[in-house]
Amino acid sequence: MSVKSIPTPAGTQDTRADSVVRAPQVGDPGRPEVRRPFDRYAPVRQYSLRQILGVWAAAAIPMGLLAWIVAPWLSDQIGGRDPFIESLLICFNVGLLWQLAMVLYLVRREQGSLAWSRVRDALWLRAPQDPKSGRVGKKVWWWVLPFVVLSAAFNALPIDPVGPLPRDLPNAISTDRVGDFFSGNLVGFALLVAVAILAPVVEELVFRGLLLPRMRVVFGKRDFVASGVLHTLYHVHQPWSMPATLLDSTFAQAYPTKRFRSTWMGIITHTAPSVLIIGVVLALMLK
């Protein structure tokens, strides 16, 4: 006897966090319950190539303009111990907040609401889901660890050229100029912490939460590769980081996000290096 799922009545929506849609038993009462994992593609609308590139441009172009045009201009308008470093941090924060506002606007337009249940499903902010068993959360979270290690390995590869200082922060941290700027500078440290947290979180919301689930029709099974490429090309504000970013973004962020249908996978792996940067700069500030 065939088993068929009974559809959810129209107008209803499962808003329980980390839920699994369960099909009721049909036929033989002794037969085990049939479970069907919640389709996380269901709440989102697929984008056209034009829409995908439009979102990319809306994220990348402002960041490029802020970094290469606005920041140098702003550094001539403000004072302080190092106006250029401060202006860069201010501009990066502005650009990242713009991207966050863009994501919320697009979700609001698509879903009709910014209620958490809508935002969570629209941006894949549920706990990770095992692609084979359909289990959600708990032990599935452990899968993030190998991707954190993989991300660290990619970032440790000596494949990125050295960018102009002090723009290339990881290489600039060891210089006296950056050390002098952050020493005892609580405002500068706060700006750095904001960038270090906003950058990975907001970028993952844009490229993995918003774009990746909506790219399946255009790119098919290679959508996670396209996500990594778009995120890499987004870094026009720091192009020297593109080689490692291509590997890291594609295989340590986009791939686990798609496999486990959870943007949290990319957010965690992307944010891990920021903890190290914050720790190093904190030590500079306390000198």
Q: Which phi and psi (to 5°) does residue 71 adopt?
A: -60, -50
Average pLDDT over residues 74-81: 92
Alpha helical stretches, state H, the chain: 49-65, 71-75, 83-111, 116-122, 144-156, 169-172, 176-182, 186-204, 216-219, 223-234, 242-247, 255-260, 263-285
| Count of other CB atoms within 10 angstroms of residue 276 | 13
CB 74 within 8 A of CB 191: no
- Rounded to whole angstroms, the Cα distance separating 263 from 173 reads 30
pLDDT at residue 73, rounded to an integer: 97
pLDDT at residue 169, rounded to an integer: 87
Confidence of residue 38 (pLDDT cuts 50, 70, 90): confident
pLDDT digit string, tens, across residues 105-139: 999 999 999 999 999 999 999 999 999 888 998 99
- Rounded to whole angstroms, the Cα distance separating 265 from 127 reads 9
Inform me whether the pLDDT recorded for 6 exceeds 60.
Answer: no
Q: Which amino acid is at 74?
A: L
Per the listing, tokens 């129209």 go with 10
Torsion of CA 91, 96, 97, 102, to 10 degrees: 130
pTM: 0.86
Q: Which phi and psi (to 5°) does residue 157 adopt?
A: -65, 135
pLDDT at residue 176, rounded to an integer: 93
What integer best gives the mean pLDDT of the chain?
A: 89
- Show me where the domains of the chain are located: 49-130+143-285
**pLDDT-wise least confident of 21-30, 190-199, 219-228, 271-280:** 21-30
Confidence of residue 287 (pLDDT cuts 50, 70, 90): confident
Inform me whether the pLDDT recorded for 98 exceeds 50.
Answer: yes
Inform me whether the pLDDT recorded for 1 exceeds 80.
Answer: no
